Structure formats: C-alpha cells, structure tokens
Amino acid sequence: MAISKKMEKAINGQINAEMYSSYLYLSMAADLNNKALAGFSNWMKIQAQEELYHAMKLYDFVLERGGSVTLDTIEAPQTEWKSPLAIFQAAYKHELLVTSLINKLMDLAIKEKDHATNNFLQWYVKEQVEEEASADEIVQKIKLIGSQGNGIFMLDKEMAARPPLFTFPVSGE
C-alpha cells in the first residue's frame, strides 16, 4: 500500500527539519572551530552527518512507499553563540524540538493506521532518546567543569575522539 499524501507531506517536512538540523550543527561546528575548540567542532560535524543520515533514511522511505520527495528551502541557522555551553544548550533544546516533530509524525501514523510508517518511525523515537541524552550529558559536563581552563581543554580532547559516520574524499586523493 502506498503512503498517503498526508503522511508523505509530513515526512517531507521532517526531511527538511533533519536537513536544517545538519545545517545547524555545521554552523555550531564552525563557531566552535572559531573558538579554537576543534574537538567540540568535531563532535558537531559528526552530529551534522547523523542528521543528514536521518534525512536520507526518511527520503528513501518515502520513495520506497511509492511517494514523492519534495525538497524545500532550508532556513539559514544562527552562526554565533556566546560560549560552548550556550551552543550545547541550544543543541539540546533543538533535539527536544526534533523529538516533538517525530512524536507528531508518530501520532499521524497512528491516526492514519499506517503501520509501516509507525514501525519505521520507531527507530527515530529510540534515536531521539539517545540524541537528547547525548546533548544533555555534554551540557551537564560543561556546567560541572566551567567554561574555561583545563576542564574545557580535557573535554575538547575527549570530543575529538568521536569517530565520523563516513569520511569525505579530499580533492587530489
């Protein structure tokens, strides 16, 4: 059974939201890099990759269900924050928003009795629990150690160790 037009439109909206999330985290990565926090920047770049992966899973699902993907304009994200704490607080707040969007998709899938979409979205429900916890953990660590000195340096080194989901070829390689 093909996906309903209502569900297709809602998932297309979520594709846009996930793409925006990727843009937002790339912007946060750039600001962290500008603050000489390459490890924090690394963490955010990988988070941006995850969000792109989330968007592509939705993209493929819509097509697999016989729907059409309609890409829309991606809003420009904020580009500067006061501190690493402000950045991760904003990331945590953003993840709460994404969770609410996923929950609305789930509500629609249930209302439409779209069991395939409901089943598919269960992965996102679980993923959002992890996303919220991950961002909040960093917020709590920064609050614990303060925003300056050795603690931030050590946390930056820890964040640098997060492995990428995939790597991009560099020109000339």
pTM score above 0.85: yes
Q: Is residue 173 part of a domain?
A: no
User: CB count, 10 Å around CB of 78?
Assistant: 11
- 84-138 residue pLDDT tens: 999 999 999 999 999 999 999 999 999 999 999 999 999 999 999 999 999 999 9
Decide if pLDDT at 28 tops 80. Answer: yes
* CATH code of the domain covering residue 105: 1.20.1260.10
Q: Is residue 40 part of a domain?
A: yes
Tokens of 50: 């995850």
Q: Is residue 166 part of a domain?
A: no
Q: 157, exposed or middle or buried, with CB in 10 Å at 0-12, 13-18, 19+?
A: exposed
Q: Where are the alpha helices (DSSP H) in 66-149?
A: 84-111, 115-145
Q: Is residue 123 part of a domain?
A: yes
- 126-143 residue pLDDT tens: 999 999 999 999 999 999
What is the predicted pLDDT for the residue at 1? 76
Q: Is residue 172 part of a domain?
A: no
Number of domain units in the chain = 1
CA distance linking residue 106 with residue 55, whole number of Å: 16
What is the predicted pLDDT for the residue at 146? 84
Closest CA to 135 of 81, 103, 82, 98: 98
Closest CA to 142 of 40, 74, 2: 40
Residue 106, CA distances (Å) to 9, 64, 98, 127 in order: 14, 18, 12, 14
Half-sphere exposure of residue 72: CA atoms within 13 angstroms, side-chain side: 12
Band of residue 171 on the pLDDT scale cut at 50, 70, 90: low
Query: Could you list the residue range(s) of the whole structural domain that residue 89 is in?
Result: 5-160
Q: Is residue 169 part of a domain?
A: no
Q: Is residue 130 part of a domain?
A: yes
What is the predicted pLDDT for the residue at 38? 96
Q: Is residue 122 part of a domain?
A: yes
What is the predicted pLDDT for the residue at 165? 78
